[in-house]
Amino acid sequence: MNKTLQRTDMPTTTANGTSAGKQLNPAFDWRLIARTALLSRRLDEMEEQDLAPRGLVKYQFSARGHELTQLLLSQLLTAPFDAASVYYRCRPFMLGAGLTPLEALSSDLARAGGISDGRDVGVVFNMPRRNGALVLPNAADVGSQYTPAAGYAQAIRYRVEVLGQQDLDGSIAVAFGGDGSVASSGFWSALNIATTLELPLLFVIEDNGYAISVRGPMQTPGGDIAANLRSFKNLALWDGDGTNPYQAAELAMQAVDHVRAGRGAALLRVTVPRLSGHSSVDSAAYKTAEERQRDAARDPLPALRRALTTSLMTEADWQALEEEVMEELAEVRDEALRRPEADVTCVTHHVWHDPRNPARTGGLAAEGVTLPPGDPVRRPPTPARITMVEAIRKTLDVELALNDRLLVFGEDVGLKGGVHTATQDLQLRYGDQRVFDTSLSEEGIVGRAVGMALAGLMPAPEIQFRKYADPATEQINNCGTVRWRTANNFAAPIVVRMPGGYRKIGDPWHSVTDEIVYAHAVGWRVAVPSNTEDAVGLLRTALRGNDPVIFFEHRAMLDASWARRPYPGDDYALPFGSARITAGGDDLTVVTWGAMVELCETAAQQCGADAEIIDLRTLAPWDTATVMESVRKTSRVLVVHEDNEFGGFGAEIAATIGQQAFLDLDAPITRLGSPGVPVPFSQHLMAGVVPSVDRIRAAMEDLLAF
Ligand SMILES: Cc1ncc(C[n+]2csc(CCOP(=O)(O)OP(=O)(O)O)c2C)c(N)n1
């Protein structure tokens, strides 16, 4: 399927919107479109001309020129599970989908009662479903809106075909973006996902010719993304004038109908003028006088007025509509300005799931799905010790059987069973909708997972190696802050499994740990198990929970004999933030995790130290109470980790101990980590980088002798 409907296939209309004998498409409520377009326009003008110059709106993004197609689409997204992934110039769409003018203005004024309660930029939107589409939490990163939309579209299919929710059949996802956004990796990643899987996803590109000051041909060769995509497989294209009511209505309807009919992904490109600067702080001095004139001549509002007053209303009706809107906006402005600032005492709320107050949309809790909490008591069915990777596989298996909303995916995760074998046979058992390979895009893997979580599923993606999560950084960061940014409107709990760390050999790519990045990221829980038993308990808690989790699988421990323990049972679950004392001692506290636990035990045995070795098991949260109790007893502490010592998690631990147990210390808090270079390929060199038993032992001896 490579359906291309070009501009010449569209109704022949002139650019100024005269009808040439055409009727306005009766499927739309044109009066409402006119009213909302006027509302949006006058709101922009009020902000641009008054509230922004007075410093009351700090950062204004005008949608002047973009209104028409957005409003048409808002009226088409009425199926029960439709969703839109918008961008900052989508306020007209938001007003069409049910955002009230008071909410819109309160958001731009950063007052209480705005869509994020003062937390996010006034046009970085999210909106639980009202009368139209669900609006997925937007982020200000250009291009980041696309892969979650692809994930949402895949989730629609999953809910219909796997969960049997036939009433959701025909629902679609729509992702909006500008002509600059088509140069982003997120756009291409989502395009690949949507077209390879033939998902119900419509891309809407509002091409105003500029990305701030940079012109279209710098973003896509020739400046027309639809023309360039004509040979893209499994993508239907519509392309035309987003200021012409006759043409834009046809384009929007045909594109939506195509996707809704289950015929796969589509892209609608509409050309529109950007009638203001990029934002209130952009004078648009880079536009020539002719360009400004050309843009002004393409204003969609006069075209809409002409079209409506030709057929549906009189000039007097239009003027009355304008007056009605102005009156409403004057009231809205006064009320918004009377609104208080958001409550600063609540600014730290909504980082984590609160069972008494779950997010309204996203994750299992919002869907009313509860899973058994699990049990911290070990009940090994057999005493046989199994490897950590077998245990992870078994836990995924048990959880897939328990929870039909759980999906496991990533590169080579399907038939091959993962390059680390953690998902072997799972696709055979649960089918390729639940356990599957993905295209090679980590942004796509995590962004898709976010969209699936927002659609009420529990995605557990695998990143093949920790280092290869780098391209997903934006999606990971945005996933962690969703709940906070949307003031608990949305949450996107996902469990990202990622193996890393040195094994018998190392290199700069496959041996990265760098867990500090995730411990530092807002909203993520971070597990770093060292052995079979903990891996089972922590993974199960993660998969049954409602917060995003990074589950770090240390490569050295996946089949290490030290890490092998009996499988602790199908219900075994461990709380996060609860360390394990692997060896009790009185003279020295050693705080560590992952592969370093075994080395610390060996080093302590070799030097005969009476060391208390604490395996933290999780870094976010980390068990400060157990560490402090031990430090108060031993008065000496060594923190050992594989990651770089400089700025590593050991610094956080050391600072906390310094603050909470300073008077109990008899020696300086000592850290041992890597010396600030990547793990080398040569084993000989690697021994000089990754903490070894010898170096740990030496550090222990120094501390004991202090
Ligand atoms: C990842 C990222 N890079 C840079 C920016 C800064 N920025 C904000 S909007 C923008 C231009 C986007 O243009 P386009 O996608 O064409 O949308 P338009 O603003 O024209 O509607 C840029 C560069 C950003 N927000 N995110």
Of 323, 339, 355, the position where a domain reaches its end is 339
Q: Which of 66, 212, 225, 286 to mutate to test the pocket of ligand 1 (most atoms within 8 A of CB)?
A: 212
Same domain, 271 and 417: no
Kindly tell me if the per-residue pLDDT of 339 is higher than 60: yes
Atom from ligand 1 closest to the CA of residue 66: 21
37 within a domain of the structure (yes/no): no
How far is ligand 1, taken at its centre, from the CA of residue 179, in Å? 9
451 within a domain of the structure (yes/no): yes
Q: For 350-397, write each residue's pLDDT tens digit.
A: 999 999 999 999 999 999 999 998 999 999 999 999 999 999 999 999
CATH number of the structural domain spanning residue 243:
3.40.50.970
In this prediction the pTM is: 0.96
CB 704 within 8 A of CB 636: yes
Q: Is beta strand 618-620 parallel, antiparallel or unpaired with respect to 525-527?
A: antiparallel
Phi, psi dihedral angles at 617 (to 5 degrees): 65, -40
**Catalytic residue, candidates 510, 520, 554, 641:** 510
Atom from ligand 1 closest to the CA of residue 61: 19
Q: What percent of the chain clears pLDDT 90, i.e. is strictly above it? A: 95
pLDDT at 131: 80
Atom from ligand 1 closest to the CA of residue 208: 20
Kindly tell me if the per-residue pLDDT of 178 is higher than 50: yes
Q: Name 525's bridge partners.
A: 549
Q: For 18-42, write each residue's pLDDT tens digit.
A: 444 478 999 999 999 999 999 999 9
**350 labelled catalytic:** no
First to last CA, the chain: 74
Per-residue pLDDT averaged across 419-434, rounded?
97
Q: Residue 85, SS3?
A: strand
Same domain, 533 and 622: no
CB 635 within 8 A of CB 666: yes
The CA-based dihedral angle spanning residues 74, 79, 81, 82, taken in that order and rounded to the nearest 10 degrees: -30
Of 305, 339, 373, the position where a domain reaches its end is 339
Same domain, 645 and 507: no
Distance between CA atoms of residues 636 and 685, nearest Å: 30
51 within a domain of the structure (yes/no): no
pLDDT at 185: 98
681 within a domain of the structure (yes/no): yes
How far is ligand 1, taken at its centre, from the CA of residue 229, in Å? 21
How far is ligand 1, taken at its centre, from the CA of residue 687, in Å? 45
| Domains in the chain, number | 3
Residues, the chain: 706
Same domain, 428 and 373: yes
CA-closest candidate to residue 492, choices 462, 526, 459: 459
Q: For 564-607, write each residue's pLDDT tens digit.
A: 999 999 999 999 999 999 988 999 999 999 999 999 999 999 99
pLDDT class of 141 with cuts at 50, 70, 90: very high
DSSP code for 341: B
670 within a domain of the structure (yes/no): yes
Same domain, 71 and 141: yes
pLDDT class of 16 with cuts at 50, 70, 90: very low
pLDDT at 327: 98
Same domain, 380 and 472: yes
Q: For 656-695, write each residue's pLDDT tens digit.
A: 999 999 999 999 999 999 999 999 999 999 999 999 999 9
Distance between CA atoms of residues 244 and 242, nearest Å: 6
pLDDT at 14: 32
CATH number of the structural domain spanning residue 622:
3.40.50.920
Same domain, 411 and 433: yes
DSSP code for 273: -
What are the distances in angstroms from CA 557 to CA 196, 284, 552, 594, 596?
Answer: 36, 57, 11, 8, 10
Same domain, 558 and 513: yes
Per-residue pLDDT averaged across 74-98, rounded?
97
Name the one residue in this structure whose structure tokens are 């029960």: 80
Domain hosting 615: range is 580-705
Same domain, 562 and 585: no
For ligand 1, atom 21, which residue shows the shortest CA distance?
178
Kindly tell me if the per-residue pLDDT of 647 is higher than 50: yes
pLDDT at 505: 87
Kindly tell me if the per-residue pLDDT of 4 is higher than 60: no
pLDDT at 9: 41
17 within a domain of the structure (yes/no): no
Distance between CA atoms of residues 469 and 458, nearest Å: 19
pLDDT at 415: 96
Same domain, 518 and 656: no
Kindly tell me if the per-residue pLDDT of 11 is higher than 50: no
200 within a domain of the structure (yes/no): yes
Q: Which residues line ligand 1 (CB under 6 A)?
A: 89, 140-143, 177-181, 208, 210-212, 274, 278
Same domain, 311 and 400: no
Of 531, 566, 601, the position where a domain reaches its end is 566
Same domain, 144 and 100: yes
Kindly tell me if the per-residue pLDDT of 233 is higher than 80: yes
Per-residue pLDDT averaged across 535-555, rounded?
98
pLDDT at 504: 84
pLDDT at 452: 98
Per-residue pLDDT averaged across 5-17, rounded?
36
How far is ligand 1, taken at its centre, from the CA of residue 478, in Å? 17
Q: Which of 142, 275, 278, 443 to mutate to test the pocket of ligand 1 (most atoms within 8 A of CB)?
A: 142
pLDDT at 2: 35
Q: What is the H or E stretch that residue 177 is in?
A: strand 173-178
Distance between CA atoms of residues 513 and 522, nearest Å: 18
Query: Which residue type, as a one-letter code, is found at position 41?
Result: R
Angle ∠(439,443,446) on CA atoms, nearest 5 = 90
pLDDT at 1: 35
499 within a domain of the structure (yes/no): yes
Atom from ligand 1 closest to the CA of residue 211: 13
